[in-house]
A = this chain, B = another copy of it.
Amino acid sequence: MKEMNSTIKNNISELTKLAKKFNCFYLSGLHQGICKPFLVAGHQVGLVRPDVLKHLQRFPEVFRITGKVVELNPAFRDYQERTSKVAEVLQDLRKENEIFALKGWRDECFEVSTPFHHESLLEMDRSATCLFGIRNYGVSVNGYLYHPTKGLCIWLQQRSFTKQTWPGKWDCFVSGGLAVGFGILETCIKEVAEEASVVGELAQKLVSAGCVSFYFESERGLFPNTEYVYDLELPLDFVPKNADGEVETFELLTAEECVQRALSPQFKTTSAPVLMDFLIRKGYINPENEPNYRYIVELLHVPLQTIYNLPKSDISSNGDVQNLEC
């Protein structure tokens, strides 16, 4: 079998631990009930941790906090008003310099929208979405090739030491967040050009291959992340060159080296799902060598689109919630 007789040297059951690590909030915090649902225009769009709540309490004109929920003031009429009112609070908090996540202010906005009809509700700086548990979206590219002697090989990047998040950590070939105003494929094409100088005919070979979803939590906040995944088969003689200063270096690894790198503390935890999904789709991690295969595949696709399931009917006219299961 192509790729299926490869031996994975060791630690393959360690992949389950890793899948649990990038889903630490999905598997634990989500069910503890210590976070309050965050509502905008009657829709639950996130969750607020107690450490964030204590800051939001100081802005009652913007955030209405009841026993069970945090609600953006429903008097705000539209996208623009919601966006500017939230931005004012975030700028105040940022000046106080007490919230770790806001030290990584990006001047790049992510959209907050309803999951199904994709109704845009507001936008906020991407450094702040983790404070509200807002679902966020990005693109990730697996740059790979079949080496004549080494078999499946994958290009990884080491992130620049000057990046606000995960500086110096190893990461997928190329990835980027989905900022307001950019399409998914458009973001993908922009990022492969900027991060790895992939342009022209080579960029035309990008193939959409699914998405991964997981719910991570760190000191900075909550990360219900969905990554749109693309594969790019590269020529044997291709060497990526960074064009935007965000990459320290690139390295071509065998599939086995990739597994070991992903399991090491030098790898960006929230990029491991993309790499694991790739190695599963290519048959390198398979039911014959990974005892928790089907559980891992499920942990690569947790139900984020339905996780904030507070129905509108459960919110009474006073903004409080009738029947809450968070």
Q: For the complex formed, measure the closest distance between the CB of A232 and the CB atoms of chain B, giving whole angstroms.
A: 10
Asked if A218 CB lies within 8 Å of chain B CBs, one says no
Asked if A305 CB lies within 8 Å of chain B CBs, one says yes
Q: How many of chain A's residues touch chain B, expressed as a range? A: 35 or more
A306 touches B301 (CB 8 A): no
Known contacts A4-B207, A208-B283, A208-B287; is A301 also within 8 Å of B297 by CB? Answer: yes
Question: Oligomeric state, in number of copies?
Answer: 2
Q: For the complex formed, measure the closest distance between the CB of A148 and the CB atoms of chain B, giving whole angstroms.
A: 18
For A306, the chain B residues whose CB sits under 8 A away are 295, 298
Known contacts A184-B287, A185-B288, A287-B185; is A305 also within 8 Å of B294 by CB? Answer: yes
B302 touches A303 (CB 8 A): yes
Asked if A210 CB lies within 8 Å of chain B CBs, one says yes
B210 touches A295 (CB 8 A): no
A286 touches B208 (CB 8 A): yes
Asked if A9 CB lies within 8 Å of chain B CBs, one says no
Quick one: CB contact mask for A108-140 with B, threshold 8 Å, 1 for yes? Answer: 000000011010000000000000000001000
Asked if A151 CB lies within 8 Å of chain B CBs, one says no
A207 touches B305 (CB 8 A): no
Q: For the complex formed, measure the closest distance between the CB of A72 and the CB atoms of chain B, giving whole angstroms.
A: 24
Residue from B185, B209, B291 in contact with A280 in the complex, judged by beta carbons closer than 8 Å = B209
A contact set with B: CB distance below 8 Å:
1-4, 115-116, 118, 137, 183-185, 204-211, 213, 226, 228, 277, 280-283, 286-288, 291-295, 297-298, 300-306
